[in-house]
Amino acid sequence: MVNDVVRWFHLLAAAVWIGGSITVGALVPALRRAGATTEQIRAAARRFGVVAWTALAVSITTGIIQVARFHIMVRGNARLTLKLTLVGAAVVVTYVHQMTAARSRPAVRGALEGLSLVLALAILGAAVAL
């Protein structure tokens, strides 16, 4: 029962984070085309950031619990190692994007957003392969 609850929260948090990333990736360009101000877009991004970082923290915490409970060895488990590597890369890219977005050129922001989205989708693919 506890394992099911932990897995449910893990999947919910991952869905919120990945689904939110896809949604924001589609929403920001649409907001720009619709004439939203930079401040409006930043406000939406900041709000999503709170949700995304919370979901990511829940996902990482529940992932650690699952690894510990099932005594899954990360070493030698290529698929899990790949997923963890992708999560680490996504955290770094997301953090860099959040810290530099206000002063970066649009092309740099777009590249970081695109890379973050690709990493999120790759994590999803790695999770499905587990």
Rounded distance between C-alpha atoms, residue 112 and residue 101, angstroms: 9
| C-alpha to C-alpha distance for 81 and 96, rounded to whole angstroms | 23
Distant-in-sequence, close-in-space partners of 67: CB < 8 Å, separation ≥ 6: 74, 80
Name the band, by pLDDT with cuts 50, 70 and 90, for residue 24. confident
- Phi first, then psi, for residue 70 (nearest 5°) are -95, 0
pLDDT band, very low/low/confident/very high, at 23 (cuts 50, 70, 90):
confident
The domain ranges of the chain are 2-129
Position with higher pLDDT, 20 vs 102: 20
CA distance to 29, 40, 89, per residue, from 77 (Å): 39, 44, 18
The answer to whether 96 and 88 have CB atoms below 8 angstroms apart is no
Q: Report yes or no: 65 and 6 within 8 Å, Cβ to Cβ.
A: yes
The residues near 28 (Cβ < 8 Å, ≥ 6 apart) are 41, 44, 45, 113
CA-CA-CA-CA dihedral for 69, 16, 28, 106, to nearest 10: -10
- pTM equals 0.79
Amino acid code (one letter) for 110: G
Q: What is the pLDDT of residues 28-81, one digit of tens each?
A: 888 989 999 988 988 988 899 999 999 999 999 998 888 887 766 666 678 888
| CATH T-level assignment (fold) for domain 2-129 | Four Helix Bundle (Hemerythrin (Met), subunit A) (1.20.120)
The pLDDT score that the predictor gives to residue 104 is: 87
